[in-house]
Structure 1
Amino acid sequence: MEYSPELSTLNRIAFIGNYLPRQCGIATFTTDLCEAFSETYSEIACIALPVNDTDSGYPYPPIVRFELTEKDIASYHRAADFLNVNNVDIVCLQFEYGIFGGKSGSHIIALLRDLHMPIVTTLHTILQEPDPDQRKVLEQIAAISDRLVVMSKRGAELLTAVYGIQKDKIDLIPHGIPDVPFVDPSFNKDMFGVEGKIVLLSFGLLSPNKGIENVISALPSILKKHENVVYIILGATHPHVIRNEGETYRLSLQWLAREKKVEGNVIFYNRFVSLKELIEFIGATDIYITPYLDSAQIVSGTLAYTVGAGKAVISTPYSYAQEMLAEERGMLVPFKDPEGLADQVIQLLDNEAERHAMRKRAYIYGRSMIWPKVASRYKESFERAKAERRHFSPPGFPIKPLDKRPEELPLLKLDHLRRMTDDTGIFQHAFFTIPNYEEGYTTDDNARALLVSTLMQELGNGNFELTFRYLAFVWYSYNRKTGRFRNFMDYQRNWSEPSGSDDSHGRALNALGTVLGRAGDSKLPSIAGRLFEQALPAILNTSSPRAWAFALLGIHEYLQRFAGDRMASRVEEELSERLMVLYKKNNSTDWHWFEGSLSYCNAVIPHAILLSGKSLRNKEMIQVGLGSLEWLADLQRSKTEGGYFVPIGSNGFFQKGGSQSRFDQQPVEAQAMVSACLAAYRITQDLNWRKEARSAFEWFLGRNDLNTPVYDPTTGGCRDGLHPDRVNENQGAESTLAFLQSLVELRLTENVFIHEEL
């Protein structure tokens, strides 16, 4: 039947898809389409049904009337019932495989099948080589839908050639864009502190398929010719990437910028910006770059926005870019070709007339893509679907280059810490992410946990219930007959020895001293103080330099609050002098160390002597602490460009005169180095120590010999180390607490750093 608009009237449209403030491209598109349609056709009521990927959902605007739960298929059926009884004329679905539950998003089919009104589906992904599930889902959605909207000619071709869909069912409607004036880039640059600079921009939710590393790699060549270039990377990391991989990709880009020595020309703006902010960023841009790696990508909202704003664009030749940048509306460069990209940027910067001509061609082309015109095209598609249906009756935000601001850190996630803790305390080991009951508990680990939970309280992320539990374990572990802490306890709460190792005693004092020095809750210091006083003398009867060092860290924390305690001061003097004697005995021209070997938790020794030197105002101790820590840092640095952290391996360690063991690499080594370097930074204010601390921390995140994260962002736990060929997948207490302590100490230091900057 031939379509006639007079046969159809529209009163209410429902838009299904992610919706702002959820952070993703589909949410932005659905919101923009819904708002544009409402503004253009105010007589037609619009409602939205977003999909939640979290239990808490999002603070949606009033236009959102019903929320689907991604993995709960029952919510899809309820949504269909809601639409059917609310007099909806058309459902406009935004389909992307990754936003709906079920295999390849198949849950959405349950909703579509229950609907009584016409359906117009916009396809945001059309795969040329789908797997069987992807093909089945798209074919079923296409069969149920009355109209299919694609945003590129290539998308329409794939629907007919790969999926056998009739051409007359497909509407080609471009990606909508805001209607912005054609402005000179210099107009907005002062808003971002880049006046007088040439601005390159990439924006969108950050993920590894964006290819941003290729632009950073191109910068050295560009800067040789145009030294006033800055590259702005705008946008938060994709929430799903954060959830599964953390900030590993963003951090790898920052490491690359430092290695290429272009960190002063790279600006990361890690936020999901509003449309107003985005337009201002685009307005300040001289050249926009999409270096994407997926050749099959059939649509890109970021590319549509910048072409429509009349920007000079350079892109890799993915499907949508070839179409949008045809007829000299932009330039294409091969995938993963930094030098080719640099040549194109330089060519455009050297030829201003060519660049401006390209801008004008792009801007004119984009006039057909502004949202009011796109809304009109969607209205035509909606009316056609209904007519054909017969079988159903400046911001004021600071923005700084990478080398001028505190660096980003992962979120503090305590899921695995809680999983590893029961009513007794924290378990020693895990099978993968499952607590290993057979290995029981240790005072070592519960002391670590007590220290970490105390630091978290200072950060504002503490859990007093956990802190009390760990303190209770340490209290119970103290054997008043021996004056020492017991260490190993089995799952039945039986101690295996009357006195634990020297190190466990030192760690317990470290934790107790930290509680006394930092905990704000009055109950904690009173309990910890009694135990600290009783246990402190026994440390003088131990022989382990690391036990002395752990104890010294706790004594230092304690004396920050109780400087008049003469007993604690005497123990500090005695233990620090012992370490100095060891250093003078073992130090030589090529061996600046306290022993004849490097083994475990090495950095804790210079850390302790450094803090003692500060407390005792002993310059020699401070010099020994800084010198030995610097020597250790040099040893634990790769010889590659940029020099990442390589801890002493536990398989043989490092004997004086021998060779340094590379593996196995343990998380506690990274933690000890982070803590020591941060202490050195606080004492000296030398930013190089902050960098050393960050380098050690980056080992957890994947800047290591295997280029593999040891931290697991999905659990908040940390894997048990690096073997020569793989990661140890068990997430025990020692490793998880090593990561958490490093993260919390960095956050506390960065908070101070930010305050000082302000």
Structure 2
Amino acid sequence: MKRKLKVLFIGTYVPRECGIATFTSDLFNTISKEDEVDCCEVIALNDIDETYDYPEEVVFEIRRNKLEDYYRAADHINRSDHDVVCLQHEFGLYWGDAGDYIFALLSSIDKPIITTLHTVIKDPEPPYRRVTEKLMQYSDKVIVMSETSENILHEVYDIHNGKTELVYHGIPDCPFTDSKEHKELLGLKGSPLILTFGLLNPNKGVETTLDALPAVVEKHPGLKYLVLGATHPEIKRNFGEAYREYLLDKVHELGLESNVIFHDKFVEKNELYEYILASDIYVSPYHSREQVVSGALTYAIGMGKAIVSTPYWYAQETLTENRGILVEFEDITGISKALMHLIENPQECNEMRRNAYEFGRQMIWKNVGKEYISIFRLALKNYPVSTTDEKTDFSLFSVNLPKTKLDYMISMTDDVGIFQHATFGVPSRRHGYSTDDVGRGLVALTRAMSGNDRIRDIKKLVTLYLSYLDHAQTEKGHFHNFMSYDRKFLDDKGSDDTFGRALYGLGHVCACSLLPDNLRSHALGMIRRSRPVMDEIHAPRAKAYTMSGLYEILDKGIDKDIFLPVFIRYADHLTGLYEDNRQDDWEWFEPEVTYGNAKMCEVLMLAYNLTGNPKYRDTGIKTLDFLTELQWNGEFFDLVGNEGWCKYKCEKALFGQQPIDAAYLTEAYVTAYELTRRERYFQLANRSIEYFLGRNRLNAVMYDHESGAVCDGLDMKGMNPNQGAESVVCFIMALEMLTRYSEKTEGSKQQETGKELMQIYGKNKFSTKSLS
């Protein structure tokens, strides 16, 4: 027996008032009732500032103008057990350039995608061509609703690989009936009753029908023309009711007040069906020839209506063989004659109705649903599935780490310090310098000294950076942070974090045996001058930075009587924060996860090394494991972004991701590996450094192997082009720390650890589709 399918639909959805919402709902209701289907769910697309009371099948909502929601939807899909994704596509539905936000979702999921195209453009502008071609690329099957659409894809977009499938727009299964009883049910009068329905917009061509009516009304004064439907929301938003008012004025000018009815309402589908069945003639006077499908015309055909239409593509295709009358665009006389012919020749009109009804039998929803299911199964059959071994090989083995390049860091430094920012490798003088970067720069330089053939350059930079910090230190022992290019400090003193980052660098200089004694002594003197300020520091990350620097000198036995009490007091403060804020599902120091997070975890493990207090070790490991659970998704580290951070009981922000967090994670995992010798920490260290090398949400390579530059982060629109000091310095810090241990781990051991890591953290296979 065939395994039952689990299907996820993406599109607008009821109760939103739009044609595709109705289509998605009808398709859902049809397929969910089929025996071959286990369950169906929906991801609904909302317009700006919209909210709806959706039915229970809607499991996720996308705000169309929020790129982050598309990524979140992809995450939801990847975590789900759905077999296939069925996407409804229409230009104007999704946000971005020609709706290209949808590719943030499509490029990130690894399930078969079946796309229904509600619009296909024959002569597309470049953005629309590009989007259509990308839809072809990401879709495993593409469903079109007319032969014309299929021909355009073949001829214009050169699609000839069996990817397209023709399935007509679905319709309800209604009996072939007379209109009289339905008119009575709705309380409608008039013979004949002529109908045009759908969301009202200027392309409907209603004014052409109005101009054609006086000649018909003169002979058939009982005629009623019903224009059914609310104004299209986009038209109403941009132009108000100008088109409807224009039509009302025309009715008055033509003296048709007793013959024309405007029903300004979006009617539910069952009520709509009654209106269609109550009508005698359906008029479809569209202005545009490039109409490849029309749900309204499909309903009229399937319910056996006599039809008068302009010759847009879909009408030309479906109204052959005496299933309707085609009249040229804006041909007022032609519409008049066609209406008169149908009214005055009831037998021929009835034959036309019967022809349309019989043609529409293939379009009833039950038949359409079966065709969709067949296409779903075909897509699944042809869908490439990676084996477990392939997933393990690709996702979990360590890669060859790049060698540290100092060229870029050197190019970013002048005779004052290291520039804060640079765009495409060009230092920005207007942003000047920062103690934050200089302090961490000293950590990077001291770690890079061992085995580096540029030892002279490194010592020169260390001397320069020490000079900067010496100048930046205030009389009270704190540090200025920002200096302009004209060598003027821009603050009275920097933040607590600035103080901690300066101490972080100074401590590493003191502990670096490869540096001359004069530099190490100078750094220690600056640390000693800063001792009074340590009693005034409150920020937890500032304490973590300070502890990182103090650990280096305390581990060497330097000034323990002075600084060990401070170090322990800081460690106790961090563990106290953890106890105050932890919950069963929140193992963290604060009610919010923000930036530079793993540094706090790391220093508590260092505190255990120094004091032997197991409380520090346990807190450091628990909080690091919490960060892992929060950010490692089985494929890559999806860091907490700065566009909202991550609050307790709330979803984390996806963008504004900062490389500093990937670097600090790497350092913390190496420290955890040193402490516990649990190989999974070493593997996680490799995964976090690979964040810079393309293993991230956007598959963006942030590290320039040629220059050594590092981009600053991942934003909604892509990689941040700033290649500032913080990113390159933090990358070198992490790379050097990890490189120390990479050669110690044997390949066979890594493979065994990879399997362990997949069991502990693995959720999804790495998406090959996302690499395309």
Q: TM-score, normalised by structure 2?
A: 0.49
Aligned residue in 1 for 2:65: 71
Aligned residue in 2 for 1:107: 101
Determine which structure has more spread, i.e. the larger CA radius of gyration: 2
1:22 and 2:16 aligned: yes
Aligned residue in 2 for 1:309: 303
How far apart, CA to CA, are the structure 2 residues paired with 1:391 and 1:351? 60
How far apart, CA to CA, are the structure 2 residues paired with 1:190 and 1:254? 26
Shift of 1:225: 1.6
1:157-556 matches, within 5 Å, as 157-391=151-385
1:654-665 matches, within 5 Å, as none
1:562-573 matches, within 5 Å, as none
| Structure 1 residues 95 and 43: CA distance shift in structure 2, 3 A | closer
How far apart, CA to CA, are the structure 2 residues paired with 1:320 and 1:37? 25
**What amino acid maps onto 2:245 in structure 1?**
L
1:135 and 2:129 aligned: yes
How far apart, CA to CA, are the structure 1 residues paired with 2:238 and 2:163? 38
SS of corresponding position for 1:27: helix
Shift of 1:56: 3.7
SS of corresponding position for 1:66: strand
1:97 and 2:53 aligned: no
What are the Cα deviations for residues 233-253 of structure 1, in whole angstroms up to 9, with x where unaligned? Answer: 001111111111111111111
Q: Is the contact made by 1:9 and 1:383 (CA closer than 8 Å) also made in structure 2? A: no
Aligned residue in 2 for 1:35: 29
**What amino acid maps onto 1:176 in structure 2?**
G
Q: Is the contact made by 2:190 and 2:223 (CA closer than 8 Å) also made in structure 1? A: no
| Structure 1 residues 21 and 107: CA distance shift in structure 2, 3 A | same
Q: Is the contact made by 1:80 and 1:112 (CA closer than 8 Å) also made in structure 2? A: yes
What are the Cα deviations for residues 593-642 of structure 1, in whole angstroms up to 9, with x where unaligned? Answer: xxxxxxxxxxxxxxxxxxxxxxxxxxxxxxxxxxxxxxxxxxxxxxxxxx
Aligned residue in 2 for 1:494: none
SS of corresponding position for 1:354: helix
Aligned residue in 2 for 1:122: 116
Q: Is the contact made by 1:234 and 1:269 (CA closer than 8 Å) also made in structure 2? A: yes
What are the Cα deviations for residues 208-246 of structure 1, in whole angstroms up to 9, with x where unaligned? Answer: 111000111111011012111000000111111111111
Q: Is the contact made by 2:190 and 2:224 (CA closer than 8 Å) also made in structure 1? A: no
SS of corresponding position for 1:224: helix
SS of corresponding position for 1:97: coil
**What amino acid maps onto 2:226 in structure 1?**
I
Shift of 1:337: 1.1
What are the Cα deviations for residues 70-129 of structure 1, in whole angstroms up to 9, with x where unaligned? Answer: 111110000000011011110000111101010111000110011110000001110001
Shift of 1:24: 1.1
How far apart, CA to CA, are the structure 2 residues paired with 1:180 and 1:140? 38
Q: Is the contact made by 2:3 and 2:36 (CA closer than 8 Å) also made in structure 1? A: no
| Structure 1 residues 308 and 328: CA distance shift in structure 2, 3 A | same
**What amino acid maps onto 1:52 in structure 2?**
N
How far apart, CA to CA, are the structure 1 residues paired with 2:351 and 2:300? 15
How far apart, CA to CA, are the structure 1 residues paired with 2:35 and 2:245? 45
How far apart, CA to CA, are the structure 1 residues paired with 2:68 and 2:29? 28
What are the Cα deviations for residues 718-738 of structure 1, in whole angstroms up to 9, with x where unaligned? Answer: xxxxxxxxxxxxxxxxxxxxx
Aligned residue in 2 for 1:86: 80
Q: Is the contact made by 1:10 and 1:383 (CA closer than 8 Å) also made in structure 2? A: no
Q: Is the contact made by 1:202 and 1:290 (CA closer than 8 Å) also made in structure 2? A: yes
Aligned residue in 1 for 2:45: 51
| Structure 1 residues 196 and 294: CA distance shift in structure 2, 3 A | closer
Shift of 1:42: 7.1
Q: Is the contact made by 2:13 and 2:22 (CA closer than 8 Å) also made in structure 1? A: yes
SS of corresponding position for 1:22: coil
Q: TM-score, normalised by structure 1?
A: 0.50
SS of corresponding position for 1:67: strand
Q: Is the contact made by 2:31 and 2:37 (CA closer than 8 Å) also made in structure 1? A: no
How far apart, CA to CA, are the structure 1 residues paired with 2:26 and 2:161? 27
**What amino acid maps onto 1:124 in structure 2?**
H
How far apart, CA to CA, are the structure 1 residues paired with 2:30 and 2:278? 25
Q: Which moved more, 1:96-105 or 1:10-19?
A: 10-19
| Structure 1 residues 377 and 392: CA distance shift in structure 2, 3 A | farther
How far apart, CA to CA, are the structure 1 residues paired with 2:261 and 2:248? 10
Q: Is the contact made by 2:95 and 2:101 (CA closer than 8 Å) also made in structure 1? A: yes
Aligned residue in 2 for 1:529: none
SS of corresponding position for 2:153: helix
How far apart, CA to CA, are the structure 1 residues paired with 2:226 and 2:48? 30
1:60 and 2:54 aligned: yes
Unaligned ranges ≥5, structure 1:
1-5, 394-758
What are the Cα deviations for residues 680-721 of structure 1, in whole angstroms up to 9, with x where unaligned? Answer: xxxxxxxxxxxxxxxxxxxxxxxxxxxxxxxxxxxxxxxxxx
SS of corresponding position for 1:223: helix
SS of corresponding position for 1:166: coil
How far apart, CA to CA, are the structure 2 residues paired with 1:73 and 1:374? 32
SS of corresponding position for 2:48: coil
What are the Cα deviations for residues 467-507 of structure 1, in whole angstroms up to 9, with x where unaligned? Answer: xxxxxxxxxxxxxxxxxxxxxxxxxxxxxxxxxxxxxxxxx
How far apart, CA to CA, are the structure 2 residues paired with 1:174 and 1:79? 28
How far apart, CA to CA, are the structure 2 residues paired with 1:253 and 1:390? 54
What are the Cα deviations for residues 725-757 of structure 1, in whole angstroms up to 9, with x where unaligned? Answer: xxxxxxxxxxxxxxxxxxxxxxxxxxxxxxxxx
Q: Is the contact made by 1:160 and 1:167 (CA closer than 8 Å) also made in structure 2? A: no
Aligned residue in 1 for 2:3: 9
**Which residue of the other structure, out of 154, 158, 168, is the alignment partner of 2:148?**
154
**What amino acid maps onto 1:347 in structure 2?**
H
* RMSD of aligned Cα (Å): 1.3
Shift of 1:10: 4.2
Q: Is the contact made by 1:117 and 1:392 (CA closer than 8 Å) also made in structure 2? A: no
Shift of 1:55: 2.0
1:581-620 matches, within 5 Å, as none
How far apart, CA to CA, are the structure 1 residues paired with 2:288 and 2:73? 34
Shift of 1:392: 5.0
**What amino acid maps onto 1:343 in structure 2?**
K
Q: Is the contact made by 1:36 and 1:371 (CA closer than 8 Å) also made in structure 2? A: yes
How far apart, CA to CA, are the structure 1 residues paired with 2:5 and 2:194? 45
How far apart, CA to CA, are the structure 2 residues paired with 1:24 and 1:184? 29
SS of corresponding position for 2:203: helix
How far apart, CA to CA, are the structure 2 residues paired with 1:9 and 1:136? 36
SS of corresponding position for 1:98: coil
**What amino acid maps onto 1:108 in structure 2?**
I
Q: Is the contact made by 1:176 and 1:370 (CA closer than 8 Å) also made in structure 2? A: yes
How far apart, CA to CA, are the structure 2 residues paired with 1:130 and 1:216? 32
What are the Cα deviations for residues 542-571 of structure 1, in whole angstroms up to 9, with x where unaligned? Answer: xxxxxxxxxxxxxxxxxxxxxxxxxxxxxx
Shift of 1:54: 2.9
